[in-house]
Structure 1
Amino acid sequence: MNVYDAIKNAIFSGEFKQGQRLTETYLAEYFNVSRTPIREALKQLISEGIVHPYKKKGIIVRSFSSDDIKEIYNVRALLEGYGTGEAALNRTEEQIARMEEKNIAYKEAIYSYNASDLNITKNIQETNQGFHHEIFVASHNNQILELIDKVVVVPLIYRSFYWYKEEHLYQSLEVHNTILNSIKDKDIDRAKSAMQEHIYTGRDHVLKNVINN
C-alpha cells in the first residue's frame, strides 16, 4: 500500500479523526517513511477535499457540518442521477455484465453481514462503490467520473455503512436492482430517479446519525 492510500485509509477508518491536525513529521514517523512521499500524498488529499491546510503547518482532517452534508449529497444526487441516465443511454452489453458482477459481489457481501465484523462492513462499502463506479464508466463521460470522485468523500469519512442495519442494506440492494434493470431497459428517467432516491436515502441516514452522535 502506498503512502497516499495509507493516509486515506487511516482517515476513512477513523484512525485519524475529523479535525485532527497532522504534520509531515508526524505522518513520516507514523508510517515510517520519508517526508517526500508524505508531501506528495498530502497534495493529492488536499485536492480531493479530504484534508485542508492548517496555518502553513500541517493539515487538518476535514470535518463537515449538517449543512455541508446536505449540500454535498444534493450535488451527488444531481451528478449521479445524470451519470446513471447517461449510462442507461450509452451502456454496452459488456458494461452491463460488469455491473451485474459488481452487484452480485455487493449482494454476497450483504448476505455475509455481521454487525461485529468491521472487515465485512468495509467489504460492503467497497463493493457498493464498485457497482456505482461501473455505472459511471458506462456513462462514457470522464468528467462525471472526476466530479463524483470529489463528492463521495462524505460517506467515506463518516463510514456511513457502519451505521446501516441489516434491513437498510437489503433496501439498498433492492434499489441497486432497480437501477440495474432500468439501465438494462434503457429507461433513462427511471434509472436517474432511482439513483437520486438512493443518494437521498443515504443523505438522510448520515444526517440522522451525525445529529444523534
Structure 2
Amino acid sequence: MGVYENIKHAIITEVYPPGFRLTEEALTKDWNVSRTPIREALKKLEFDGLITPLKRGFIVRTFSKEDLQQVYDLRALLESYAAAQAAMNRTEEDILFIQDAIRAYEIAMEIKEKDMDQNQAIVEANSRFHRGVINASCNNHVRDLIDKVVVLPLMFRSFYHFDQTDIDQSFQMHKTIARAIEENDPYRAKSAMEEHILRGRDFVLQHYESDATTVSQTID
C-alpha cells in the first residue's frame, strides 16, 4: 500500500483514533518517508473527510450519532440504486467476482467462528462484495459518490460488534442481493441492498452509546 492507503488504514483501525493529532513530522517518522508524500496523503484524507486541519497539523475527525444516521441513509440510497443498475448491466465477469467475494466471506466466517478476535478477513470480504456490486452497476458517478460516504460505516467497524448470528444474517443478505443481480431483477436487488444497509445502520446506532469513542468516520 502507498502512504495514503497506510495512513487511511491506520485511521480506520484506530491506530490513529478519533481526536488524534497528526503532524507531517510525526508521520514521516511513522512511515519512514519524506514530507512530500505525507502532504499529498493528508490532502486526500482531508478531502475524504477523515481529518480536519488545525493551526499546525491535522486531527482525526469524530462524528456524532446524527452524522452516522445521515451517512448510512445516504449510503442506503446510493448502494440500493447501484444494486438495481448492477442487475441490469452486470456481465458474467461481474457475477464471478461477486460470487468469489461471497465465497471469501464464507471462509472468513469460519475463521471468525474459531476466533472472534479475527475480523479483518470479514471486513475485507464484505468490502470486496460491495465493491463488486458497485462496479457491476457500470456507473462511475455513483461509484465516486459512494467512495465519498462509505468510509464512515467502515471506520465504525460494525463487524467488531457482530456475533456469529449477525455475521450469518449479513452473509445471507449478500446471497440474496447476488441472486437478484444474477437474475436481472433490479427491483429485488434494490430492495435487498437497501434493507441490508439499513440493518447495518440500526446495528451501529444501537451500539453508538456504548462505543462512542470508535465513532470516527464502511461496510457494513
Place the TM-score, normalised by the shorter chain, in its bin: over 0.9
CA contact (8 A) 1:84 1:139 kept: yes
Counterpart in the other structure of 2:177: 179
How far does the alpha carbon of each residue in 1:164-189 deviate from its partner, in whole angstroms, 9 at most, with x for none?
A: 11100000011001101111111111
Counterpart in the other structure of 1:54: 54
Q: Residues 8-157 of structure 1 correspond to what in structure 2 (within 5 A)? A: 8-55=8-55, 57-114=56-113, 116=115, 118=117, 120-157=118-155
CA distance in 2, matches of 1:41, 1:134: 26
- Partner letter of residue 179 of structure 2? N
CA distance in 2, matches of 1:19, 1:95: 39
How far does the alpha carbon of each residue in 1:60-84 deviate from its partner, in whole angstroms, 9 at most, with x for none?
A: 1111100000000000000000000
- Partner letter of residue 141 of structure 2? Q
Following superposition, the deviation at residue 202 of structure 1 comes to 0.8
CA contact (8 A) 1:84 1:136 kept: yes
CA contact (8 A) 2:80 2:193 kept: yes
Counterpart in the other structure of 1:200: 198
Moved more, 87-96 or 67-76: 87-96
CA contact (8 A) 2:68 2:153 kept: no
TM-score (norm 2): 0.92
Q: Residues 154-173 of structure 1 correspond to what in structure 2 (within 5 A)? A: 154-173=152-171
- Partner letter of residue 16 of structure 1? Y
CA contact (8 A) 1:87 1:183 kept: yes
CA contact (8 A) 1:69 1:207 kept: yes
Q: Which has the higher contact order (CA 8 A, sep 6+)?
A: 2
Gaps of at least 5 residues in structure 1 are none
CA contact (8 A) 2:86 2:138 kept: yes
SS at match of 2:36: helix
How far does the alpha carbon of each residue in 1:77-136 deviate from its partner, in whole angstroms, 9 at most, with x for none?
A: 000000000000111122111111111111111122147564x31110011010110111
Gaps of at least 5 residues in structure 2 are 212-220
CA contact (8 A) 1:87 1:140 kept: yes
CA contact (8 A) 1:80 1:196 kept: yes
CA contact (8 A) 1:115 1:121 kept: no
SS at match of 1:146: helix
